[in-house]
């Protein structure tokens, strides 16, 4: 009896291809996709370099060498001036302009090398003026720590002669001056050492590890609020003392940032699930014969698709609105300011329209609801993973971030929501996201119409 039941179960499973797919192949496909997305096979084992603006207020030989050492580090993407046309003069970043860029989210950290940096860097006394690290420490609590650690390394790797000079100075302070002979020997050796380092730098020698190590530095204060660096000794302050300054002053806590990010990330992911289910009503209508009846009644396929699309988009709009309202009332998301509310409405409308088009395309490309279930699960989870709904895209490799932008609209939607709720970008600043989402909407609708021809008279 039990054997018969087992046999029946096996036969039913093997003859239901959709069920078989979901049971065995879907987990394998997901496993592979996530390995490709997040594994070293695709991303080369490295996250994206941390974009860091350097403003050199010291403008000394030592500071130049330090900046060059930072530029040589592949874990950093050092910017010293905004992009400009070849025939236009370069204008290096100022402290203010760098702060604005970080505030807008276009660079993760700005390092301000203070005047006197070259004179005091590497001092063991701990009284050197700190390098200010401007960052958004709420949404990006890692970048400034990475920069801090890599600055320590850059100093040692890029200017060991300075380090030795500073060390000798400290030695002489407590143990007495060097003899003239010792001084002469040191004066001969240090230029050689510097020459060696510079020749290595010009040959673009790679450091031993390309993996940023957030624990490398100890000089930066991880506190999100602006606090002076400790100056008791280099053991606390680091060889390059730093002072972390949060460029965001409008958000009181990182909790609010978390709510703003999670509300949009979760809303967009579940919006995709909702629209794929909404698109599935087309297949439901097909199976029940209602679709036939609708088409016989001269509704027309284009009208039918537009009607479905509009309904699913409206449903999606309401769904996202409910989530944000919940966030506002329960988790104190700042929704009810004029800028946030209008920005939210615009972004949600654009996102819901694009998502609705995707839902229709998914339905039109499947022959049954079980097929749609499998396909939409893969598409939604993959798009959500690389589009930033599962975790922030800034932690992904550059290549993956690029793929996220090109292959998903999660990335565009989330960027738009971040601009509204986090960066407080004026509404006009949403144009790139709105343009892309609108193009996606139209493109997918055209594709859906082409795919839906299979339902028409043939």
Partner 1 sequence: MSTVLSVVDAHKTYGETQALKGASITLNAGEWLGLLGPNGAGKTTLIRAIAGRVLLDQGRINLLGSDISSDRNLAIETRKRLGVVPQEIALYPLLTARENLQAFGTLSGIPAADLETRIEWALEWTGLADRAKDLAKTFSGGMKRRLNIACSVLHRPSVILLDEPTVGVDPQSRQRIWDMLAALRKEGAALLLTTHQLDEAQTVCDRITIIDHGRTIADGTMDQLVLDTIGPSRTVLLTLDAPPTSDLLTLSIICEDLTLRASMTDVAADLPPLLQRLHGAGRKVRDVQVQSPSLHSVFIHLTGRDLRE
Binding residues vs partner 1 (CB under 8 A):
288-290, 292-299, 457-458
Nearer to partner 1, 14 or 303 (CB): 303
Nearer to partner 1, 250 or 292 (CB): 292
| Residue number with CB closer to partner 1 (125 or 368) | 368
Q: Which is nearer to partner 1, 26 or 295 (CB)?
A: 295
Cβ-count burial of 31 within 10 angstroms (0-12 exposed, 13-18 middle, 19+ buried)?
A: exposed
Contact 410, 383 (CB under 8 A): yes
Tokens 């236009």 -> residue: 88
Taking the C-alpha atoms of residue 420 and residue 183, their distance in angstroms, rounded to an integer, is 61
Give the residue from 145, 186, 165, 150 showing the smallest Cα distance to 72: 150
User: Least distance from C-beta 252 to partner 1, angstroms?
Assistant: 46
Cα 326 to Cα 344: distance, rounded to the nearest angstrom: 14
Please report the DSSP string for 393-452 in residue order: GGGS-HHHHHHHHHH-SHHHHHHHHHHHHTS---GGGGHHHHHHHHHHHHHHHHHHHHHG
Instruction: Give the nearest distance from C-beta 322 to partner 1 in angstroms.
Output: 21
Nearer to partner 1 by Cβ, of 428 and 458: the residue is 458
Tell me if 382 sits within 8 A of 374, measured CB to CB.
Answer: no
From CA 139, how far away is CA 151, in angstroms rounded?
A: 22
Q: How far is the CB of 9 from partner 1 (least distance, A)?
A: 29
Q: At what angle do helices 180-202 and 61-72 cross, to 10 degrees?
A: 40
Q: Give dist(CA 458, CA 450) in Å, integer.
A: 14
Of 5 and 296, which has the nearer Cβ to partner 1? 296
Least Å distance between CB 278 and partner 1? 14
Between 209 and 303, name the residue whose CB sits nearer to partner 1: 303
Is residue 111 helix, strand or coil?
Answer: strand
CB of 418 vs partner 1, minimal distance in Å: 39
Q: Smallest gap, in angstroms, from Cβ of residue 104 to partner 1?
A: 48
Least distance (Å) between residue 286 CB and partner 1: 10
């Amino acid at each position: 009896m039990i054997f018969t039941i087992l046999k029946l179960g096996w036969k039913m499973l093997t003859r239901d291809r959709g069920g078989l797919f979901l049971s065995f192949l879907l987990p394998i496909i997901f496993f592979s996709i996530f390995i490709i997305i997040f594994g070293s096979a695709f991303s080369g084992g490295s996250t994206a370099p941390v974009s860091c603006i350097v403003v050199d207020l010291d403008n000394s030989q030592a500071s130049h060498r330090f900046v060059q050492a930072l530029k040589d580090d592949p874990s950093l993407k050092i910017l010293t001036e905004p992009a400009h046309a070849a025939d236009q003069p370069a204008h290096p970043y100022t402290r203010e302009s760098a702060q604005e860029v970080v505030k807008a989210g276009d660079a993760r950290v700005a390092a301000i090398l203070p005047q006197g940096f070259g004179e005091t860097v590497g001092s063991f006394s701990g009284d050197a003026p700190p390098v200010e690290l401007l960052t958004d420490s709420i949404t990006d609590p890692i970048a400034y720590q990475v920069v801090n650690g890599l600055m320590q390394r850059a100093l040692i790797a890029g200017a060991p002669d300075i380090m030795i000079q500073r060390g000798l100075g400290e030695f002489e302070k407590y143990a007495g001056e060097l003899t003239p002979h010792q001084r002469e020997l040191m004066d001969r050796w240090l230029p050689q050492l510097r020459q060696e380092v510079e020749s290595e730098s010009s040959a673009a020698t790679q450091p031993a590890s390309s993996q940023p190590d957030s624990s490398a530095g100890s000089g930066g204060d991880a506190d999100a609020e602006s606090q002076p660096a400790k100056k008791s000794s280099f053991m606390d302050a680091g060889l390059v003392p730093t002072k972390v300054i949060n460029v965001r002053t409008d958000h009181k806590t990182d909790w609010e940032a978390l709510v703003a990010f999670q509300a949009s990330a979760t809303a967009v992911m579940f919006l995709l699930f909702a629209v794929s289910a909404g698109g599935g009503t087309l297949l439901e209508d097909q199976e029940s014969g209602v679709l036939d009846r609708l088409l016989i009644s001269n509704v027309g396929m284009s009208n039918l698709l537009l009607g479905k699309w509009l309904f699913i988009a409206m449903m999606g709009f309401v769904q996202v609105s409910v989530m944000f309202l919940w966030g506002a009332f329960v988790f104190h998301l700042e929704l009810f300011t004029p800028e946030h509310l209008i920005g939210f409405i615009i972004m949600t409308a654009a996102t819901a329209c694009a998502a609705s088009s995707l839902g229709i395309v998914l339905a039109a490309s499947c022959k049954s609801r079980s097929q749609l279930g499998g396909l939409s699960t893969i598409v939604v989870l993959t798009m959500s993973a690389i589009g930033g709904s599962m975790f922030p895209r800034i932690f992904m490799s550059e290549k993956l971030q690029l793929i996220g932008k090109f292959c998903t609209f999660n990335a565009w939607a989330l960027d738009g929501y971040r601009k509204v709720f986090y960066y407080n970008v004026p509404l006009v600043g949403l144009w790139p996201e709105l343009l892309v989402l609108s193009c996606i909407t139209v493109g997918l609708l055209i594709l859906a119409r082409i795919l839906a021809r299979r339902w028409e008279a043939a």
